[in-house]
């Protein structure tokens, strides 16, 4: 392995490349991949030169200068979160190095080189964080609601102020297109502010129940029910929204009076650490918020089975199913995978459908749980729809995230290999390729697969990449049947001009949300967001998350004799 230069240490960083690799052929896997691809007639691959600048030396140096500019915009605010070449973890209000002496590397999906390193925290460090969280939570629960809200508003403002350096991390760690990366941070600030306001409303109210409304009772008991915190909330977000899906757990937990321990995804951890620093700068009490880093496969079980955890809010893949079996008797909020179906009827506005399929299926290269993941279109309009979608796909810009390309490299090489496996299976089983399959490293060109049949893996599995299957159906019932036969049930959508039909189809689809005449989406962030079946447990969205991170406490006033208030 080559020597790592500090990711950004003042001016000295400017002089050194992000990664100094003495090996002229640093990525042996890349050659083996290429050998594999050229061996197969299916795959026409681009040479490195033809791949939209993705690896060129000039781009690499331009990239470093842009990075340095962003760094300066951060104004040194983030200096204390990094030590040498490794980012610190956050515990008891401080940025610390792990005693493990080990780090975890974060690979830039575009360059496929080490971009950052984070601490590999130990079990002992997790124990300490949990103890501190428990102690801090007691005091926090006694902090007036308006003060909690005030701090959250402050954190939101700091987060938005530092959107540029945080967005830059998202670009480098998860290859999120530059504009989308900024949007993620701004959206996160808005989410935190909205949560503060909503929390004041939702948690500022309780319920009064009078006993004489239940048969056989007089009015001698008054029940006062209010919402109280759970204790320590463990938040585990996925790589695709490491900031937004972290704050969507952090803000509701905090406003409700809980302490919060964050385990960020490895890809996206540095963006998450920057975001946590914004909460630190806002002045939250020591120990209330912590962020422990390390591979989920190594510290995940220790965290999720820790006796100090009173609630887990998780977003990710099948890992969530395993967590739910091990977690014990604590509330769980799980948002897992999806195979979001798009049902297209004969009377649909095909231009609208095509625009939504391209945006819904291919934005962030299909790496969204709410991406359109299978199109179920009536045979009579299928040719016309496929033609319109293909015309739009041809206009997408494919390349590095720094250039704000529409299609950027997928998050890891193993993810790209998985996607390729689905494509190979579809090819072998006779799907029609509307475009040539192309791949350069982790970068996969957008691909529409027509005439997909249920015996193909892509009909059921989520690629989490820019590959979309089209299944032609001869009846609406066939489309609903395919949607409901999936083990997932996150979102779905239906396109028709007939609102009565749309509502009946929406009712019949076994998914947490159905969008009528638009692609699936989680936002706006205060809308309820939930998955049925293997897609999740519970519901998110700001109000639902606040409620989920509380429990109800009742105090009953027992009068010696019935008492009725007079008008």
Ligand X SMILES: NC(=O)C1=CN([C@@H]2O[C@H](COP(=O)(O)OP(=O)(O)OC[C@H]3O[C@@H](n4cnc5c(N)ncnc54)[C@H](OP(=O)(O)O)[C@@H]3O)[C@@H](O)[C@H]2O)C=CC1
Ligand Y SMILES: O=C(O)[C@H](O)COP(=O)(O)O
Examine residue 490 and tell whether it contacts ligand X (CB under 6 A): yes
Whole-number CA gyration radius for the chain: 25
CB under 6 A: which stretch of 117-125, 139-147, 281-289, 311-319 binds ligand X?
311-319
Examine residue 265 and tell whether it contacts ligand X (CB under 6 A): yes
Length of the chain: 567
Examine residue 300 and tell whether it contacts ligand X (CB under 6 A): yes
What minimum distance in Å lies between the beta carbon of 271 and ligand Y? 14
8 Å CB contact between 405 and 398: yes
CB under 6 A: which stretch of 21-29, 283-291, 314-322, 383-391 binds ligand X?
314-322
CB under 6 A: which stretch of 180-188, 251-259, 274-282, 298-306 binds ligand X?
298-306
CA distance 52 to 398: 7
What minimum distance in Å lies between the beta carbon of 68 and ligand Y? 30
In degrees, to the nearest 5, what angle opens at C-alpha 393 toward C-alphas 369 and 169?
Answer: 50
DSSP state of 6: P
8 Å CB contact between 100 and 122: yes
What are phi and psi for residue 428, nearest 5 degrees?
A: -60, -30
Q: Which of 103, 119, 266, 370 binds ligand Y (CB under 6 A)?
A: 370
Q: Which of 295, 397, 497, 553 binds ligand X (CB under 6 A)?
A: 295
Choose the contact partner of 316 out of ligand Y, ligand X, none; CB within 5 to 8 A by kind.
ligand X
What minimum distance in Å lies between the beta carbon of 67 and ligand Y? 25
CA distance 237 to 240: 9
- The residue from 125, 173, 335, 420 that is catalytic is 335
Alpha helices for 290-378 (secondary structure H) = 296-304, 319-326, 350-362
Q: Which of 10, 84, 523, 524 binds ligand Y (CB under 6 A)?
A: 523
Q: Which is nearer to ligand X, 7 or 238 (CB)?
A: 238
Residues 6+ apart with CB under 8 A from 341: 372, 373, 374, 375, 376, 479, 482, 483, 486, 492, 493, 509, 511
8 Å CB contact between 291 and 89: yes
Q: Which is nearer to ligand Y, 98 or 367 (CB)?
A: 367
Sheet strand arrangement including 341-344: 432-433, 447-450, 467-473, 374-378, 341-344, 491-495, 513-516
CB under 6 A: which stretch of 12-20, 36-44, 202-210, 309-317 binds ligand X?
309-317
Query: Parallel, antiparallel, or unpaired for β 374-378 and 488-489?
Result: unpaired
What are 231's two structure tokens? 């204790």
Site for ligand Y in 22-51 (CB under 6 A): none
Examine residue 110 and tell whether it contacts ligand Y (CB under 6 A): no
CB under 6 A: which stretch of 136-144, 390-398, 455-463, 515-523 binds ligand Y?
515-523
Q: Which is nearer to ligand Y, 37 or 518 (CB)?
A: 518
Report the SS3 class of residue 208: strand
Per-residue mark of binding to ligand X, 439-478 (x: CB under 6 A): -----------------------x-x--------------
Examine residue 335 and tell whether it contacts ligand X (CB under 6 A): yes
Sheet strand arrangement including 289-291: 94-96, 89-91, 289-291, 259-262, 232-236, 311-315, 332-335, 536-537
Examine residue 337 and tell whether it contacts ligand X (CB under 6 A): yes
Examine residue 279 and tell whether it contacts ligand X (CB under 6 A): no
CB under 6 A: which stretch of 39-47, 79-87, 362-370, 479-487 binds ligand Y?
362-370
Q: Which is nearer to ligand Y, 367 or 442 (CB)?
A: 367
Q: Which of 171, 185, 191, 245 binds ligand Y (CB under 6 A)?
A: 245
Partnered with residue 513 across adjacent β-strands are: 491
Examine residue 541 and tell whether it contacts ligand X (CB under 6 A): no
Q: Which is nearer to ligand Y, 308 or 531 (CB)?
A: 531
**7-11-17-21 Cα dihedral, nearest 10 degrees:** -80
Active site residue 92: no
Per-residue mark of binding to ligand X, 222-251 (x: CB under 6 A): --------------x-xxx-----------
CA distances from 549 to 132, 197, 234, 338 (A): 19, 16, 11, 24
Alpha helices for 74-177 (secondary structure H) = 123-141, 145-161, 163-174
Examine residue 522 and tell whether it contacts ligand Y (CB under 6 A): yes
Active site residues: 335
Chain residues that interact with ligand X, rule: CB under 6 A? 236, 238-240, 265-266, 295-297, 300-301, 304, 315-317, 319, 323, 335-338, 369, 462, 464, 490, 531
Chain residues that interact with ligand Y, rule: CB under 6 A? 240-241, 245, 315, 368-370, 521-523
């Amino acid at each position: 392995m080559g020597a790592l230069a500090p990711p950004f240490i003042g001016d000295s960083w400017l002089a050194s490349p992000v990664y100094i690799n003495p090996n002229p052929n640093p990525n042996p896997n890349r050659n083996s991949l290429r050998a594999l691809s050229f061996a197969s007639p299916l795959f026409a691959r681009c040479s490195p030169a033809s791949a939209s600048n993705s690896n060129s030396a000039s781009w690499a140096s331009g990239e470093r200068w842009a990075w340095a500019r962003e760094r300066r915009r951060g104004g040194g605010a983030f200096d204390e979160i990094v030590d040498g070449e490794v980012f610190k973890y956050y515990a008891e209000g401080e940025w610390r190095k792990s005693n493990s002496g080990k780090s975890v590397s974060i690979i830039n999906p575009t360059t496929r080189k080490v971009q950052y390193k984070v601490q590999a925290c130990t079990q002992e460090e997790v124990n300490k964080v949990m103890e501190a969280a428990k102690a801090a939570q007691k005091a926090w629960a006694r902090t007036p609601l308006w003060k909690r809200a005030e701090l959250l508003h402050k954190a939101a403002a700091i987060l938005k102020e530092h959107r540029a350096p945080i967005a830059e991390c998202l670009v480098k760690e998860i290859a999120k297109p530059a504009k989308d990366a900024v949007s993620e941070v701004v959206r996160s600030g808005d989410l935190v502010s909205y949560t503060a306001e909503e929390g004041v409303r939702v948690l500022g109210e309780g319920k009064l129940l009078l006993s004489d409304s239940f048969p056989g009772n007089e009015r001698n008991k008054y029940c006062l029910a209010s919402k109280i915190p759970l204790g320590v909330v463990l938040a585990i977000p996925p790589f695709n929204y490491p900031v937004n899906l972290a704050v969507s757990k952090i803000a509701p937990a905090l406003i409700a009076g809980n302490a919060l321990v964050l385990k960020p995804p490895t890809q996206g951890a540095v963006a998450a650490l920057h975001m946590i620093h914004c909460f630190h700068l806002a002045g939250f009490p020591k120990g209330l918020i912590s962020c422990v880093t390390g591979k989920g496969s190594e510290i995940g079980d220790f965290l999720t089975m820790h006796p100090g955890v009173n609630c887990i809010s998780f977003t990710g893949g099948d890992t969530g199913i395993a967590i739910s079996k091990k977690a014990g008797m604590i509330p769980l909020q799980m948002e897992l995978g999806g195979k979001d179906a798009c049902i297209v009827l004969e009377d649909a506005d095909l231009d609208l459908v095509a625009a939504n399929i391209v945006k819904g299926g291919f934005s962030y290269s299909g790496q969204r749980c709410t991406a359109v993941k299978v199109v179920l279109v009536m045979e009579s309009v299928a040719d016309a729809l496929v033609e319109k979608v293909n015309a739009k796909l041809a206009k997408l810009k494919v390349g590095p995230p720094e250039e704000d390309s529409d299609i950027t490299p997928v998050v890891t090489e193993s993810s790209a290999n998985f996607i390729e496996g689905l494509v190979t299976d579809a090819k072998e089983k006779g799907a029609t390729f509307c475009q040539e399959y192309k791949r350069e490293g982790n970068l996969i060109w957008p691909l529409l697969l027509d005439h997909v049949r249920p015996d193909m893996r892509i009909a059921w599995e989520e690629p989490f990449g820019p590959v979309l299957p089209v299944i032609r159906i001869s009846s609406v019932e066939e489309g609903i049947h395919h949607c409901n036969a999936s083990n997932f049930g996150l979102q779905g959508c239906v396109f028709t001009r007939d609102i009565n039909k749309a509502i009946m189809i929406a009712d019949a689809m076994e998914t947490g949300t159905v969008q009528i005449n638009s692609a699936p989406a989680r936002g706006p962030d205060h809308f309820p967001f939930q998955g049925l079946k293997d897609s999740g447990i519970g519901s998110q969205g700001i109000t639902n998350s606040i409620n989920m991170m509380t429990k109800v406490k009742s105090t009953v006033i027992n009068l010696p004799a019935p008492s009725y208030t007079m008008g």
